[in-house]
Amino acid sequence: RDYQQADRKHLSGWKQWKRASSKSMQKVLNDIKELSSYLELWRHDIHSIEGKFGTSIQSYFSFLRFLVVLNFIIFILMFGFVTLPSIISKYEIFNSSFAKIPPKNVAPHCTVYKPSGDKGLVYFYTYLKDLLSGTGFLEVTSLFYGYYTIDAVWVSKLSYNLPLAYLLATFGYLALSFLWIIKRSVEGFRQNLVHHGDQFQSYCNKVFAGWDFCITDLHAAWLKHRSLQYELQVNLEEERVKRKIADRTMKEKLHIYSLRIFINVVVIAVLSGCFYSIYRATVFSQGSSSVSTRRDVTMNTQANLLVQYLPSIVITMANFIAPQIFSFLIRYEDYSPAFEIRLTLMRCVFVRLANIVVLLFSLWSQISYCDTEDCEACGYNYKLYPCWESEVGQEMYKLMIFDFITIIAVTLFLDFPRKLLVTHCSCKPVQWCGLQEFGISDNVLEIIYGQTICWIGTFFSPLLPGIATVKYFIIFYIKKISLIHTRKPAARPVRASSSNFFFFLMLLIGLILAFFPLGVSIAHIPSSKACGPFRNFNTSWEVVPDTILGFPEGLQDVLYGIASEAFAVPFLVVICLIMFYFIALAGAHKRVVKQLREQLVLESRDKMFLIRRITEAQQH
C-alpha cells in the first residue's frame, strides 16, 4: 500500500482519477454481488441441506434451482415474443390490429380444422380429462401451436412479423440453453480435472482434503466417514481389477469378451423391446383417439383417458424396468466399480432419451402416412392430423404431466408408507429393507428426462416452459421433504465436483438430442395449412428466406454470400486451424505439467536425501 501511495504522486490527475474510479466501481460491483446473493432462490434451504447432508446432495438441489431459473427465462422469452403480441392484437390493446393472410395455392380440404373444444353443458370430469390430456377447451388456448394463426401484428405504423418471431424465439431459447449449459459444464470440468489429475493426487485429496466442513449434522458426518472409506475401497478395488486384467490368460480374455458381447446383445434386445412397445402403444393410442373423434364415438371417460396416456405409461414403465435389468447385467461384465457406474448411467440416459425420440418417430410416421391424392396434396395426413403440431404438443404436455404425477405418487404412496413401516414395525424383513436411499443420479436422470421433453415441446406448446417452471418448483419441496422425512442419503455419494460436471454433461446430451426432432419438424415436415403461424409456408424454415427477400438487395447479397459454399469452405478451414492450434496448445501444456510433476518428485527425493544426510551427520 505504501508503494502504491508513493507511486500515485508521480501519476497525472487523469490517471489518478481513473484508478480511483476503477476502485470505486469494483467496490460497487462487489456490494451489488453480495446483495444479490441474498435474493438468490432457495438460498437458505440449499445451505441447510448442505449443512445436514453434504455437498453431493446439495449439488442436486442447486441443479434443480438452475433448471427452474432456465425454464422461467425461456417462458419469459416465448411469452414476450410470441404469446403477448398475439393477445395484444386479438383484444386490440394499444390500438393494435392483426392481419391474417389466407393460404395460397393450397387445396381447400387442407385448411379445415375443427378443434375438439366442448360446447354447452359438460361434466366436471370432462374438464379434468381435458386438463390432463390437453384436449377440449385447452386445445384452443394459447398453450398450443394452433392458437397462433396471426401473420402480422400492427401497433400504429409498426409491423411485427409473428411467424419470424416464433421461429427466432425457438432458436433463441435453444441457443440460450446451449451457451448457459456449456458455461456451467466448463466450470464443473475444471473442478473435476483438478480432483482426478492422477491416482496419487486423488489419494492425497481424500486423505488430507476430503472432509466436507459444511457438515454440521452428526449422522451426516458418519455418512461422510463411510463415503471416504468407500472411495478408498473403490480405489483399491480398481487397482485390484487392473492387476487382474493384466494377469488374464488368453482363455479368460475370450471368456469375458464373449460374455460381454452376449450381455450387450441382451441390452440391445431390451432396448428394442422398449422401443417397439412405445411404437405400438403410440400407434394404438393415436388410432383409437382419432377414430373416436372422427366417428363421434362416446368412449368411457376413464378408458379414453387411459388410451390417450398409454404412450406415457409405457415410456414410464420402460424407464423403470430397463435400468433394473441393466444394473443386474452389469455385475457379470467384470468392469471396475467406477466404470460400472458410468456405463449403467449412460445406458439409463440413453433409454430415457431414446424413448422420447421413438415416440416422436411413431407420431411422425402416422403424420406423414399418405395413401390418397388429397393427402399428398397437403403433404401430411390431414384427416387424422389437421393441426399436427398441436397433436405433438399435446403428447409432450401429457408426458410432462404424467412424469409430474409419477414423482408425486412415488413420494406419497411408496416412500411415506415405507417410512411408517420402518418406524413402527419391528419385523426383521422390514428393518432389513430399511428406508429408500436418496439416489442422486436417479433423481437427476428423472429431471433431465423432463427437461428434454420441455425443450422439444416448447416449439409445439410455447407456454410449456411455464408449466415446467411450476413443476420443478414443486418438485424441489417434494424432494426436500422426501430427503428429510422419508429417505436416507446414499451410503455411496459422489463427489460434488464430479456430480456437477456429470449433471450438466447429461443435460447437454439431452439438449443436443432435442435439436434433431426440432430440426426435422422445422426444416423437413410440411407445416399444417389449417393452423399456426406457418400455414402460408411449406415448412417453418421458409419464413427466413421469405423475410430476406424483403431486405435491400445489398443486404440480400451479403446474407446469400454468407450462406454460400464460397464462404462456408474457407470458414471451415479457419475453424479447423484454430481447433488444431488449441489442441497443440493443450498438448504442450500437458507436457509442461508432466515435467513439473517429475520435477516435484525429484525435489522430494532431494529433500529426503538431505534429511538423511543431516540425520547421519547428527548421529556422528
The 10 Å Cβ neighbour count of residue 172 is 15
Question: 43-53 vs 218-246: helix axis angle to the nearest 10?
Answer: 60
- The x, y and z cell numbers of residue 454, run together, are 420441455
- The x, y and z cell numbers of residue 423, run together, are 418406524
Q: What string of DSSP letters covers 236-268?
A: HHHHHHHHHHHT--HHHHHHHHHHHHHHHHHHH
pLDDT value at 165 more than 50: yes
The 10 Å Cβ neighbour count of residue 274 is 21
Q: What percent of the chain has pLDDT over 90?
A: 11
Nearest to 146 by CA among 393, 468, 455: 393
Cβ-based burial of 439 (10 A; exposed 0-12, middle 13-18, buried ≥19): middle
Q: Which residue type sits at 405?
A: I
pLDDT attached to residue 115:
75
pLDDT attached to residue 382:
78
The rounded distance, in Å, linking the Cα atoms of 504 and 181 is 6
pLDDT attached to residue 298:
47
The rounded distance, in Å, linking the Cα atoms of 597 and 245 is 28
pLDDT value at 73 more than 90: yes
State the DSSP code for 435.
Answer: S
pLDDT value at 429 more than 70: yes
pLDDT value at 296 more than 50: no
pLDDT in tens, 27-37: 888 877 777 76
Collapse the DSSP code of 386 into the 3-class scheme (helix H, G, I; strand E, B; otherwise coil) and give the result: coil
The rounded distance, in Å, linking the Cα atoms of 414 and 487 is 11
pTM more than 0.85: no
Tell which wins on pLDDT, 183 or 68: 68
pLDDT attached to residue 287:
72
pLDDT value at 198 more than 80: no
Average pLDDT value for residue range 372-393: 81
Average pLDDT value for residue range 417-432: 76
The rounded distance, in Å, linking the Cα atoms of 98 and 96 is 7
Give domain limits for the chain. 58-197+369-542
pLDDT attached to residue 9:
64
pLDDT value at 471 more than 90: yes
pLDDT attached to residue 102:
65
Q: Given pLDDT bands bounded at 50, 70 and 90, which one contains residue 209? A: confident
State the DSSP code for 413.
Answer: I
Q: Of 180-194, 240-254, 294-308, 347-361, which range is least confident?
A: 294-308
Residue with cell string 409419477: 406
CA distances from 208 to 11, 285, 436, 478 (A): 48, 58, 32, 36
Average pLDDT value for residue range 180-198: 68
| Residue 379, Ramachandran bin (φ over 0: left; ψ between -120 and 50: alpha; else beta) | left
Average pLDDT value for residue range 371-391: 80
The rounded distance, in Å, linking the Cα atoms of 398 and 461 is 11
pLDDT attached to residue 169:
93
The rounded distance, in Å, linking the Cα atoms of 479 and 446 is 12
The rounded distance, in Å, linking the Cα atoms of 164 and 609 is 74
Bridge partners (DSSP) of residue 436 are: 487
Bridge pairing between strands 152-155 and 96-99? antiparallel
Q: What percent of the chain has pLDDT over 70?
A: 85
pLDDT value at 270 more than 70: yes
Q: Of 190-204, 240-254, 375-389, 603-617, which range is least confident?
A: 190-204
**What φ, ψ does residue 573 adopt, rounded to 5°?**
-65, -45
The 10 Å Cβ neighbour count of residue 344 is 17
- CA torsion sign for 138, 144, 150, 154 is positive
Average pLDDT value for residue range 436-441: 72
pLDDT value at 423 more than 60: yes
Nearest to 399 by CA among 442, 455, 477, 482: 455
pLDDT value at 176 more than 90: yes
Q: Helix H segments across 411-463?
A: 416-424, 428-433, 440-457
Nearest to 384 by CA among 150, 141, 116: 116
Task: Give the long-range contacts of residues 260-264, CB within 8 A, separation 24 or more.
Answer: 260/333, 263/329, 263/332, 263/333
CA distances from 324 to 175, 313, 433, 487 (A): 35, 17, 17, 20
**What φ, ψ does residue 492 adopt, rounded to 5°?**
-125, 70
Give, rounded to a whole angstrom, the gap between the first and last alpha carbons of the chain.
50
Q: What string of DSSP letters covers 535-554?
A: TTSSSGGGHHHHHHTTS-HH
pLDDT in tens, 148-159: 888 777 777 778
pLDDT attached to residue 71:
94
The rounded distance, in Å, linking the Cα atoms of 415 and 33 is 40
